[in-house]
Structure 1
Amino acid sequence: MPKTFLNDDILMNSAINILMRFGDVTSAEHFFQIIKKNIITYGAMMNGYVQNNKCDKALDLFEEVPFKRNDVSYTIIFNARARISNDRATKIGRKLLGEMPKNLETNNYIQNSAIDMLMRFGGVESAEKRFQMIQKKNIITYGTMTNGYNINSEPLKNLMVHAHELDLRLCNSLIDMWRKVGSVKNAQEIFELIHKTNVFTYTAMINSYGRNHMGSEAVDLYRKIPNNLQDEISSICVLNEFLHAGLLDQTYSIFNKISRKTEQIVDYLSRLFLFDEAQQLIEDYEKSNPSCSSMYMAILSGARNSRDSILSEKMYRRMKILFPDEKEALISGSILLCNVYSSLGDHEEAEDIRFNRRKELGKKVQAGLSWTEVNGEIVQFTSHDHSHARPKEIYAEVECISSELIKHEHNYDSSWITRPLHENETIESVLCAHSERLAIAFNFIQETKPSFIQIMKNLRVCGDCHHATRLIAKIRQVEIVVRDANCIHHFSTNGTCSCQDQF
């Protein structure tokens, strides 16, 4: 490195930092002696000493600092003190707190470090006073207090300190948890317990309604959000949930409110098969932003539902040019493209796409899996699965269900079969052996007939399985919840699905 670089403060401070990270303290000290120093230089050295468990040296250097102390130096010395258990460090830490300028008392980062230091030498009451001084506490503040109470064996105080944050942070997490398992009622009970809601709480509950396709409830709650809490981010979140709920008409008014049209809007347009508008939106977006693979995936998904092979081919080729390193996106895109050709009966073209995918991306398609819980046991199924202990009973029930479906005028849709039929296979036998159909049949061969069935699937449900499950719920008078990779479907005993067939 040229000697002229020694006058570059930023470069030298970076050099000290990287040497300390390598554990080369001696070389860092050498640089420190020969370069022009500023407060950042001292901070880098003190921080490096702390990282390398040389906290006494950090304290020595702190007492030598010739500059006015700033927020960086206060934070570093508090952290250094927290890792040293001796009288000298305690004395310096208390002195530093006493000398700290008033303007720094509003700095959360410094106050969090000070609380950590006080807790580590047993100053619980002093730490609590500082905690009360902080007007805008963040998650790190609460975490620091939690850790401090644990260090000082004060578990009951942990519950007290979190009482103030339960209404929002924890409740949002609980709402999200119940949403993921399809228990909207529990999520709603948590939401109603919250005394002071904010935009994130409303969005979490709307998300719960939307992903479970409870459209009218999502609309009603959105209208209850106070005007001062509505912003563009919340509108985009709500729009996204309305899309998943199949509320395409209701999204139009929200759509017009959003000035920054992004990937959610492309999804909205693609679900309406407005592909020209969706492509124009992407072109406008890319004039001032990096290309986004999820936008192209949204159009590909819509093109698959409309069986538009020309548009699908165009979008996938564009993705290969723009996102050569995004293998997961390219694999998903190629699957959608392959499914388009399969739905049109062009299995030769579909097989060429599969071959090229394996050749170029070197990865097989993820196998479809479904899980269901019966009598406290979680059971896994793959398509055409015979690995279970009761395969004969399962497939006998599959045939029984299929006969009932045909009597109720279910027509098996071959467009959802993505490969050529093998010898002795039929359209019916292939579709009936999808993993979720086997999981449903397994529930029906139990001694006690179910009134509720819950299934989780790692891929999106196909159109034929979706229509069949709606009929099964009606014929057998059983509620069925299927959580796939895209959303949660609630199939009712009246033969409807919460997604309104927008999947």
Structure 2
Amino acid sequence: TLFNACAKLCNDRAMKIGKELLAKMPENYRNNKITSTSAIDMLMKFGDVENAERIFRSIKAKDIIAYGAMVKGYVGNETFEKALDLFEKVDIELDNVTYTIVFNACAKLCNDRAMKIGKKLLAKMPENYRINNITSTSAIDMLMKFGDVESAERIFRSIKTKNIITYGAMVKGYAGNETFEKALDLFEKIDIELDRVTYTIVFNACAKLCNDRAMKIGKELLAKMPENYRINNITSTSAIDMLMKFGDVESAERIFRSIKIKNIITYGAMVKGN
């Protein structure tokens, strides 16, 4: 629908067209859940939470997709408490998307209420949703944010076909919980192609640990990093930070010089390193 296109584009023109279209939408179309849900999604993308709420309230028979759009919208607008408020009102069966969204909200909020809701939700999650990598990975991320490394490990072990995002969530979680050796232990078991995010996470872990093992792993990883990842400022900056922590100023300078478009974070890493 046009609402979806406007939501994706999300610029001034899209906002103008989307809101004008919504204003003149016939009443009988508003009763259509698919159309209304796409309008909610669009408005949430525009940051217009109030109008999204108005449409949501007008939907007589709400389904899990409508609830999901609202919860996701609240999360996207960083109104995490509202996301949990609405989630607690959901009285219909959840789908795996809603589980994922709520886990993400709980991870972001990370207070007592979020921990209670997140863990309770995880406990009652159907078995068939646990084999979904996206849902399980969001649960891992949430548990790691809660500091519940053991439960995160349990879920990770239960995933039969792990992908790089799942591995990344675990390595990042270990690093976030300052169990850097565990982060490197797991990294060394990865037998699939790394993504840019994983390079960044491992460089950060090596920088924090900064012992002989970390130096060896970090430098080997850097040596085999694909060229297209080197032009990414975030990844390159984490490599610079790592090398500076290792005292390898020369290699850090080499990477710094190779970055075509430097930002303030890149400059900061070099200045801080020096």
TM-score class, shorter:
0.5 to 0.7
Distance in 1 between the 2:190 and 2:170 partners? Answer: 13
Aligned counterparts, 1:28-427, within 5 A = 28-36=52-60, 37-166=62-191, 168-169=192-193
Offset at 1:53? 1.0
Offset at 1:98? 1.0
Secondary structure at 2:147 match in 1: coil
Amino acid at match of 1:111: S
Partner of 2:13: none
Amino acid at match of 1:72: V
In structure 2, list runs of 5 or more residues that go unmatched: 1-24, 195-253, 255-274
Amino acid at match of 2:187: H
Offset at 1:169? 2.2
Distance in 2 between the 1:165 and 1:76 partners? Answer: 27
Percent of paired sites with the same residue: 53
Secondary structure at 1:65 match in 2: coil
Distance in 2 between the 1:151 and 1:158 partners? Answer: 10
Partner of 2:265: none
Offset at 1:146? 1.7
Partner of 1:2: 26
The correspondence for 2:39, drawn from 15, 21, 40, is 15
The correspondence for 2:48, drawn from 24, 41, 52, is 24
Distance in 1 between the 2:110 and 2:158 partners? Answer: 26
Q: What CA deviation, in whole Å up to 9, does each residue of 1:335-361 have, x standing for no partner?
A: xxxxxxxxxxxxxxxxxxxxxxxxxxx
Q: Which structure: larger Rg? A: 1
Offset at 1:161? 1.0
Q: What CA deviation, in whole Å up to 9, does each residue of 1:395-442 have, x standing for no partner?
A: xxxxxxxxxxxxxxxxxxxxxxxxxxxxxxxxxxxxxxxxxxxxxxxx
Secondary structure at 1:104 match in 2: helix
Distance in 2 between the 1:150 and 1:17 partners? Answer: 34
Partner of 1:192: none
Distance in 1 between the 2:123 and 2:193 partners? Answer: 33
Partner of 1:416: none
Secondary structure at 1:103 match in 2: helix
Amino acid at match of 1:26: E
Offset at 1:163? 2.1
Distance in 1 between the 2:28 and 2:140 partners? Answer: 43
Distance in 2 between the 1:160 and 1:105 partners? Answer: 24
- Output the TM-score relative to the length of structure 1: 0.33
Distance in 2 between the 1:112 and 1:82 partners? Answer: 12
Amino acid at match of 1:22: F
Distance in 2 between the 1:156 and 1:148 partners? Answer: 12
Q: Which runs of 4+ in 1 moved over 2 A?
A: none
Amino acid at match of 1:78: F
Partner of 1:222: none
Q: What CA deviation, in whole Å up to 9, does each residue of 1:31-81 have, x standing for no partner?
A: 000023210000000000011111111111111112111111111110100
Secondary structure at 2:109 match in 1: coil
Distance in 2 between the 1:8 and 1:39 partners? Answer: 14
Secondary structure at 2:38 match in 1: helix
Secondary structure at 1:83 match in 2: helix
Distance in 1 between the 2:35 and 2:165 partners? Answer: 31
Distance in 2 between the 1:169 and 1:72 partners? Answer: 26
Secondary structure at 2:160 match in 1: coil
Q: What CA deviation, in whole Å up to 9, does each residue of 1:193-215 have, x standing for no partner?
A: xxxxxxxxxxxxxxxxxxxxxxx
Amino acid at match of 1:29: E
- Output the TM-score relative to the length of structure 2: 0.60
What is the number of equivalent residue pairs in this alignment? 170
The answer to which structure has the higher helix fraction is 2
Secondary structure at 1:42 match in 2: helix
Amino acid at match of 1:71: N
Distance in 1 between the 2:188 and 2:160 partners? Answer: 16
Amino acid at match of 2:88: E
Distance in 1 between the 2:110 and 2:189 partners? Answer: 32
Distance in 1 between the 2:189 and 2:160 partners? Answer: 13
Distance in 1 between the 2:189 and 2:171 partners? Answer: 13
Distance in 2 between the 1:69 and 1:116 partners? Answer: 20
The answer to which structure has the higher strand fraction is 1
Distance in 1 between the 2:189 and 2:33 partners? Answer: 44
